[in-house]
């Protein structure tokens, strides 16, 4: 049995998103032992990390960046995970957090927000060969919502994917002790759930939200969104999470 620690990256009062990863992990392997910690509510302890095979750092809806004083509890949690040699995965804020902890920089994208979908995500040569993106075809589309992005790459990290909006859409880092795989986008969020998020924020076209709700099963809706029909179907959408999970027992 594989034990996964999910690090909820939102404080109380913000949407709690660890459950999205619970749903994906249970679909991948329903025997998985899943634990959830919330560093903003209580520091992560050594006992939280005992017998953990992998750690997931979720996205976040907070207004501050990963280098801000307010984010110190999250940085401390990731540093502990890295110190214990636990393989880690990060989505959106989780990838930006890793970039910061590993010596890079994240900041608001000069291109503004990328909400709804990350389109035409191109694999680098390294990304085409890396097990993290096995099964992805270059030019894919995936649910996405973010303000910040990695603006300075951590030394030693490997760029795996990017697009016209955000040059760093996926990277991997492995120095023999620390192993991190991360994405700027959100494979864990269904297109329909993304439509609900956009509803709550407001200001997004009704046609976009309607097509997101149909995209898993309606090839026409997927194409209108700029996606290949298979990109937004569940098995393909969660490719990175499944590949990372499988790597823990490889």
Is 114 annotated as catalytic?
no
- Reading the block at residue 84, the tokens are 């214990």
- Reading the block at residue 243, the tokens are 């590949």
For residue 50, the tally of other CB atoms under 10 A from its CB is 10
Distance CA 55, CA 190 (A): 21
Instruction: Please give the DSSP secondary-structure letter assigned to residue 84.
Output: T
Distance CA 207, CA 166 (A): 24
Catalytic residue among 100, 149, 186, 240: 186
- Reading the block at residue 29, the tokens are 């392997």
C-beta of residue 64 within 8 angstroms of C-beta of residue 70? yes
Catalytic residue among 8, 20, 149, 188: 188
Is 188 annotated as catalytic?
yes
Catalytic residue among 8, 92, 144, 240: 92
Give catalytic residue positions.
92, 186, 188
């Amino acid at each position: 049995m594989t034990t996964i620690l999910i690090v909820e990256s939102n404080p109380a009062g913000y949407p709690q998103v660890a459950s999205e990863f619970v749903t994906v992990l249970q679909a991948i392997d329903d025997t998985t032992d899943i634990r959830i910690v919330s560093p903003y509510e209580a520091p992560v302890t050594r006992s939280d990390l005992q017998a953990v095979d992998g750690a997931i750092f979720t996205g976040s809806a907070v207004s501050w960046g990963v280098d801000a004083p307010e984010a110190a509890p999250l940085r401390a949690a990731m540093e502990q995970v890295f110190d214990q040699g636990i393989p880690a995965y990060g989505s959106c804020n989780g990838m930006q957090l890793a970039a910061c902890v590993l010596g890079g920089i994240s900041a608001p994208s000069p291109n503004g927000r990328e909400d709804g979908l990350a389109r035409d995500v191109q694999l680098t040569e390294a990304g085409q060969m890396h097990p993290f993106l096995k099964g992805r075809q270059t030019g894919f589309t995936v649910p996405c919502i973010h303000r910040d992005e990695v603006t300075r790459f951590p030394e030693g990290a490997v760029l795996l994917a990017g697009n016209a909006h955000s040059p760093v859409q996926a990277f991997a880092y492995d120095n023999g002790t620390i192993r991190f795989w991360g994405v700027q986008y959100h494979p864990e969020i269904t297109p329909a759930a993304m439509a609900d998020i956009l509803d709550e924020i407001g200001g997004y076209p009704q046609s976009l939200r309607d097509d997101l709700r149909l995209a898993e099963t309606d090839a026409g809706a997927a194409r209108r969104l700029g996606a290949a029909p298979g990109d937004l179907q569940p098995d393909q959408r969660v490719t990175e999470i499944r590949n990372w999970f499988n790597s823990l027992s490889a």
